[in-house]
Amino acid sequence: MITGNLFIITAASGAGKTSLIKALLKQDAHLKLSVSHTTRQPRSGEVNGVDYHFVDEAAFLTMLGAAQFLESAEVHGARYGTSQSAVDAPLQAGQDVILEIDWQGAAQVRRVFPNAVSIFVLPPSLETLEQRLNSRGQDSQETISKRVAAAQSEMRHVGEFDYVTINDNFDVALQDIGAIVRAQRLVAAAQLQRYASLIQTLT
């Protein structure tokens, strides 16, 4: 059985990874986004079960204690976690899965799935990052300043990832990530298994 590919997409808050992932999912029906659990409050327009599974601290800690998370982390005072079953099931069915997680979670996932393909999305500058955070209109200037400082700390881990793209031009960054996905699907080991009958007739 051919299992699906696991893609990890990471970026500091405000770099645009969520918008890129949404656009990628619209383009590629074979990709599935794993919906994370979080204890933070929903932002305007976010839907439970679509953007995140919004749970309280007690429910999150219960899942954590039962070892139900593939990875988990605390970011900006809120807990985030990826359900193990939400990843295993689609992968075993041959579905390609995207994890939208931070660098801490990415490190945890790579220990379990060493073949996972990791992509880090960078902003073109700190000024642009701050402008994007301001444009959300959700946080105070003090909070935004803290987020920019935290982003710098997160971006120091960029060298731990397989691929890096700069989200200066949205369409170019989207093409970059799409190219990585397509290339991973063409890896010889999977193709030899997927097209075993054809290759046997050709060789």
Asked if residue 55 belongs to a domain, the reply is no
- pLDDT tens for each residue of 110-165: 999 999 999 999 999 999 888 888 777 667 788 788 888 888 999 999 999 999 99
pTM comes to 0.87
Parent domain of 27: 6-34+95-202
Asked if residue 131 belongs to a domain, the reply is yes
pLDDT of 24 over the 90 cut: yes
Asked if residue 50 belongs to a domain, the reply is no
Amino acid at 163: Y
Asked if residue 83 belongs to a domain, the reply is no
Asked if residue 158 belongs to a domain, the reply is yes
- pLDDT tens for each residue of 180-192: 999 999 999 889 9
Instruction: Tell which residue, 156, 7, 133, has the closest CA to residue 76.
Output: 133
Instruction: Tell which residue, 122, 127, 128, 72, has the closest CA to residue 101.
Output: 72
Asked if residue 142 belongs to a domain, the reply is yes
End-to-end CA separation in angstroms for the chain: 22
How many domains does the chain fold into?
1
Asked if residue 78 belongs to a domain, the reply is no
H helix count then E strand count, the chain: 9, 9
Domain CATH number, residue 185: 3.40.50.300
Asked if residue 90 belongs to a domain, the reply is no
